C-alpha cells in the first residue's frame, strides 16, 4: 500500500471490473505514513464482518430479516431469508481449503521478471565445513534462487518465521544436512536413550481444584 493522502474507508476497497469475484483490485486510495486515524479506519474496514449484526433481526415466524444499508433501485429496503438459506449464503463467503487469500500483481507477482529486483533476499551463507563434523557441509553454497525448490522446507519456514536456523551447527557454524528421516517410535526411543536424552514426554500433572487452591484458613 502506498503512502500519501488519507484513505476513505467506504471507497478504499471498491471492486474494479478486472478484479475476480471476492477480491479487491482498486489501489487508487492510500494512507499517509503517520496517519494513524486513516490506518485505524482501514483496519476496521478490512476486519469488518460479512454482515452487520445490528441490522439483522428475527421475525416472529422464524425467518431472518436483514436491513439493507442503501435502498435498492426498486425500493427494496429489507430482505427476508429462511434460516438455512441465510446460512447457505454465509457459507458461500468462506474461502475454499488451501485457497490463497493474498494475491500479488504487477512486479510483486510470483512470476514477475522484475520481482527479484524489488523483493529483498538474504545473502548466501558462506561457511566452511569443519572436517571434524561429518554432517556439516557446504550445502547450499553457490546455488541460485532459481535452482531452489519453490516450496519452502520446514527448516526454511522456521528460519523465516521464528529466525531459528536449525541446520546451523552450534560448534563449527557449518551447514548440516538431513541424512535420514526416522519415523519408527522404537528407533527414535533407542537413539534418544543412547544420546542420554529423554525418550518420553514429561508426565501431565493432575488438575488442581481452584477451591482447594484458594481455601485459606481465616483467623
Q: Is 188 found in the same domain as 161?
A: yes
Structural domain of 148: 122-200
205 in a domain, yes or no?
Answer: no
Statement to judge: residues 29 and 86 lie in one domain: no
Instruction: Give the pLDDT confidence score for residue 77 in this predicted structure.
Output: 92
Q: In this structure, is residue 99 part of a structural domain?
A: no
Q: Do 5 and 65 have their domain in common?
A: no
Has residue 23 been placed in a domain? yes
Q: Does residue 106 form part of some domain?
A: no
Q: Check whether residue 194 and residue 126 sit in a common domain.
A: yes
Per the structure, how many domains does the chain have?
Answer: 3
SS3 assignment, position 3: strand
**Does residue 131 sit in the same domain as residue 192?**
yes
- Report the distance separating Cα 204 and Cα 129, nearest Å: 42
- Say if residue 44 is in the same domain as residue 59: no
What percent of the chain shows pLDDT beyond 90?
17
Same domain for 71 and 135: no
The pTM is what? 0.35
Is the domain of 40 the same as that of 57?
A: no
Alpha-carbon 67 to chain mean position = 33
The answer to the question of residue 206 being in a domain is no
Judge whether 208 lies within some domain: no
Residue 80 shares a structural domain with residue 142: no
167 and 193: one domain?
yes
Q: Note the pLDDT of residue 16.
A: 41
Q: Is 110 within a domain?
A: no
* Same-domain status, 128 and 195: yes
Residue-wise pLDDT tens digits, 71-90: 999 999 999 999 999 999 88
Q: Give the span between the Cα atoms of 54 and 208, in whole angstroms.
A: 42
Is the pLDDT assigned to residue 45 strictly greater than 90?
A: no
pLDDT tens digits, residue range 110-156? Answer: 888 888 888 776 554 444 444 445 555 544 444 454 544 467 888 88
Q: Helix or strand or coil: residue 12?
A: coil
CA gap 169, 136 in Å, rounded: 7
* 102: in domain: no
| Domain match, 70 and 41 both | no
Distance CA 140, CA 119 (A): 20
Do the beta carbons of residue 42 and residue 12 sit within 8 Å? yes
**pLDDT per position as a tens digit, 89-100:** 888 888 888 877
Amino acid at each position: 500500500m502506498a503512502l500519501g493522502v488519507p484513505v476513505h474507508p467506504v471507497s478504499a476497497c471498491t471492486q474494479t471490473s478486472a478484479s475476480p469475484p471476492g477480491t479487491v483490485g482498486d489501489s487508487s486510495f492510500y494512507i499517509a505514513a503517520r496517519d494513524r486515524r486513516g490506518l485505524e479506519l482501514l483496519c476496521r474496514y478490512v476486519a469488518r464482518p460479512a454482515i452487520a449484526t445490528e441490522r439483522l433481526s428475527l421475525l416472529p415466524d422464524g425467518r431472518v430479516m436483514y436491513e439493507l444499508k442503501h435502498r435498492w433501485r426498486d425500493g427494496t429496503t429489507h430482505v427476508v431469508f429462511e434460516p438455512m438459506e441465510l446460512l447457505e449464503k454465509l457459507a458461500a463467503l468462506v474461502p475454499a481449503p488451501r485457497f490463497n487469500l493474498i494475491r500479488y500483481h504487477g512486479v510483486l507477482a510470483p512470476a514477475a521478471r522484475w520481482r527479484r529486483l524489488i523483493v529483498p533476499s538474504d545473502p548466501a551463507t558462506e561457511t566452511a565445513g569443519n572436517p571434524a563434523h561429518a554432517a556439516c557441509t557446504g550445502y547450499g553454497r553457490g546455488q541460485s534462487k532459481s535452482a531452489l525448490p519453490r516450496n519452502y522446507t520446514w527448516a526454511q519456514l522456521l528460519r523465516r518465521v521464528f529466525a531459528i536456523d536449525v541446520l546451523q551447527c552450534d560448534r563449527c557454524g557449518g551447514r548440516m544436512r538431513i541424512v535420514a528421516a526416522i519415523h519408527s517410535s522404537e528407533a527414535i526411543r533407542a537413539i534418544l536413550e543412547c544420546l542420554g536424552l529423554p525418550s518420553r514426554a514429561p508426565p501431565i500433572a493432575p488438575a488442581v481444584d481452584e477451591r482447594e487452591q484458594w481455601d485459606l484458613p481465616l483467623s
